[in-house]
Amino acid sequence: MTGGARGLGFAAARGLLEHGASGVVIFDLSDVIAENSNKLALQALRVEFPAAKILTQVVDVCDEEAVKEFIRLSVNQLGSIDILLTFAGIATGGGATIDVPMHQWKRVLDVNLTGTLLCARTAAKYGFTSPCLQNTYIYDKTDDGSGKWRLHRFDVVLGGEPGAVPVPHRRI
Ligand SMILES: NC(=O)c1ccc[n+]([C@@H]2O[C@H](COP(=O)([O-])OP(=O)(O)OC[C@H]3O[C@@H](n4cnc5c(N)ncnc54)[C@H](O)[C@@H]3O)[C@@H](O)[C@H]2O)c1
């Protein structure tokens, strides 16, 4: 869960736990994780879901090396990544769009767009080994123009190697 120390991300983390997630790793910035009200909310979550592993990691989603390192660590801690939710995001600061300085706009793109891509593609690589993803299929039209539909295994569509189940291989 990126940007999960407060707000929508925190609520979504709670939602996953309510629906039986065995663990969640929250990525967020250090000052936000350290903020007292966020720390208290996290403690309360651990009390409410004592059987779940609820972890936090200080990660700036724009930092490619940190994203790689902490997603690898999260897989070690939880066993697999079955779901990635990317709530880390910022806005331009409230002024009229017509006046937003370009450095602010570029920072929004860095966090909201590039940060999301970095997390998604790194997690996807680990997701190939997740039983959850290997059992997920998408239904798609064939590439041969026949208009027929067929099933693709989702981990294969994402770029993983086909495993034991022979399925059509298509990259997105
Ligand atoms: N709340 C809304 O009504 C609403 C509406 C539309 C879109 N959004 C978007 O949804 C997302 C979540 O909204 P929210 O209301 O919970 O916002 P929020 O500010 O409460 O939460 C965003 C979280 O992302 C974290 N974050 C920011 N930059 C980061 C970075 N570089 N690396 C890691 N974490 C980072 C923040 O520390 C914060 O905890 C945001 O992208 C927001 O723009 C929210």
Nearest CA to ligand 1 atom 42: 89
| Total number of domains constituting the chain | 2
**Whether residue 104 sits in one domain with residue 36:** yes
Atom of ligand 1 nearest to the CA of 11: 16
Q: What whole-number distance in Å separates Cα of residue 117 and Cα of residue 20?
A: 27
**Whether residue 152 sits in one domain with residue 79:** no
DSSP secondary structure code for residue 53 in this structure: E
Atom of ligand 1 nearest to the CA of 6: 39
Average pLDDT value over all residues in the chain: 87
Percentage of residues of the chain with pLDDT beyond 90: 64
- Asked if the structure places residue 1 within a domain, the reply is no
**Whether residue 120 sits in one domain with residue 140:** no
| 57: CB partners within 8 A, 6+ apart | 25, 26, 27, 70, 73, 74
**What pTM was estimated for this model as a whole?**
0.84
**Whether residue 158 sits in one domain with residue 87:** no
Atom of ligand 1 nearest to the CA of 4: 39
Q: What whole-number distance in Å separates Cα of residue 26 and Cα of residue 73?
A: 12
- The pLDDT value given to residue 84: 92
Q: Is 120 helix (H, G, I), strand (E, B) or coil?
A: helix
Q: Which phi and psi (to 5°) does residue 108 adopt?
A: -60, -45
- Asked if the structure places residue 2 within a domain, the reply is no
**Whether residue 38 sits in one domain with residue 72:** yes
DSSP secondary structure code for residue 109 in this structure: I
Q: Residue 169 pLDDT > 70, yes or no?
A: no
**Whether residue 105 sits in one domain with residue 61:** yes
Query: Does the C-beta of 32 come closer than 6 Å to ligand 1?
Result: yes
Atom of ligand 1 nearest to the CA of 5: 39
Query: Does the C-beta of 81 come closer than 6 Å to ligand 1?
Result: no
- The pLDDT value given to residue 46: 98
Q: Which residue type, as a one-letter code, is found at position 75?
A: V
| 135: CB partners within 8 A, 6+ apart | none
- Asked if the structure places residue 160 within a domain, the reply is yes
Q: Rounded mean pLDDT of 91-101?
A: 88
Range of the domain at 153: 136-172
| C-alpha 3 to ligand 1 mean position (Å) | 6
- The pLDDT value given to residue 150: 75
Which residue(s) pair with 28 in the sheet? 58
Nearest CA to ligand 1 atom 9: 89
- Asked if the structure places residue 145 within a domain, the reply is yes
Residue-wise pLDDT for 26-85, tens only, equals: 999 999 999 999 999 999 999 999 999 999 999 999 999 999 999 999 999 998 888 899
Which residue(s) pair with 151 in the sheet? 139
